[in-house]
């Protein structure tokens, strides 16, 4: 009985430590603003303002491409820019098949972001508007993204919501967050 109790206490301590290290850390970062217009379970209709972004093209190799794009963007916010300014990380990281983007903090967008020092990162704008959004968890993968986009399109069709354009994926958590605890979203513009 004593051994079982000791193992149970050790397991609880380990689980608590793992949760504090691997649990959601998104509350530490500024998040892109939006207004929820309506909600239906894991689907929301949101209004986004225009956002300033730092964007890197995704190379052809998807998995390595994501790491390369992230590295370029992380370098930019870490000071690899014309003024060597450090820029705070924000959430979410936006991704399409072609691009990965970091949302610039509101203060940086207001005062003007420094130009990137290389050619792999460019300053772009996310045009605001109304979006249907489906929230999902798990590790980032092509099948997970395809399933999430399909679920959102099926919901929109069943609810008479017209969508236009391709999906935009939003990832809110660092890669060391346990997949079951991650906040991921797919956004598609409402027609």
pLDDT digits (tens, 9 = 90+) for 86-141: 999 999 999 999 999 999 999 999 999 999 998 899 999 999 999 999 999 999 99
Q: Which of 45-54, 76-85, 173-182 has the lowest mean pLDDT?
A: 173-182
Q: What are 14-49's pLDDT values in tens digits?
A: 544 444 444 455 568 899 999 999 999 999 999 999
- Mean pLDDT of all residues belonging to the chain: 88
Give the pLDDT confidence of 135-158 residue by residue, as tens digits.
999 999 999 999 999 999 999 999
In the block, tokens 């489906």 appear at 134
Same domain membership, residue 120 and residue 76: yes
**pLDDT surpasses 90 at 8:** no
Terminal Cα distance for the chain, rounded? 63
CATH of the domain at 105: 3.20.80.10
In a domain, 6, yes or no: no
Q: Distance (Å, rounded) from C-alpha 133 to C-alpha 156?
A: 10
Buried b / exposed e across 24-45, counting CB within 10 Å, b at 16+? ebbeebeebebeeeeeeeebbb
Q: State residue 17's pLDDT score.
A: 46
CA 90 to chain centre: 9
- Final residue of a domain: which of 108, 126, 144? 126
pLDDT of residue 95: 96
Same structural domain for residues 120 and 178? no
- Residue 19 located in a structural domain: no
The residue segments making up the domain with residue 182 are 30-47+128-190
What is the number of alpha carbons within 13 Å of residue 97 lying toward its C-beta?
A: 8
Q: How many domains does the chain have?
A: 2
CATH of the domain at 164: 3.30.200
Identify the three-state secondary structure at position 31. strand
């Amino acid at each position: 009985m004593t051994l079982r109790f000791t193992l149970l206490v050790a397991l609880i301590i380990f689980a608590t430590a793992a949760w504090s290290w691997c649990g959601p850390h998104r509350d530490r970062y500024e998040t892109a603003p939006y207004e929820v217009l309506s909600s239906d379970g894991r689907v929301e209709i949101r209004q986004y303002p225009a956002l300033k972004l730092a964007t890197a093209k995704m190379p052809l190799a998807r998995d390595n491409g994501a790491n390369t794009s992230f590295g370029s963007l992380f370098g930019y916010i870490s000071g690899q820019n014309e003024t060597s300014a450090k820029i705070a990380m924000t959430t979410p990281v936006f991704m399409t098949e072609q691009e990965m983007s970091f949302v610039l903090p509101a203060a940086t967008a207001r005062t003007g972001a420094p130009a990137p020092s290389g050619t792999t990162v460019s300053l772009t704008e996310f045009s605001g508007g109304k979006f249907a959004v489906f929230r999902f968890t798990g590790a980032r993968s092509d099948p997970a993204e395809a399933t999430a986009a399909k679920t959102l399109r099926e919901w929109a069709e069943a609810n008479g919501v017209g969508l236009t354009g391709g999906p935009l994926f939003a990832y809110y958590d660092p890669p060391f967050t346990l997949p079951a605890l991650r906040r991921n979203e797919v956004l598609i513009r409402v027609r």
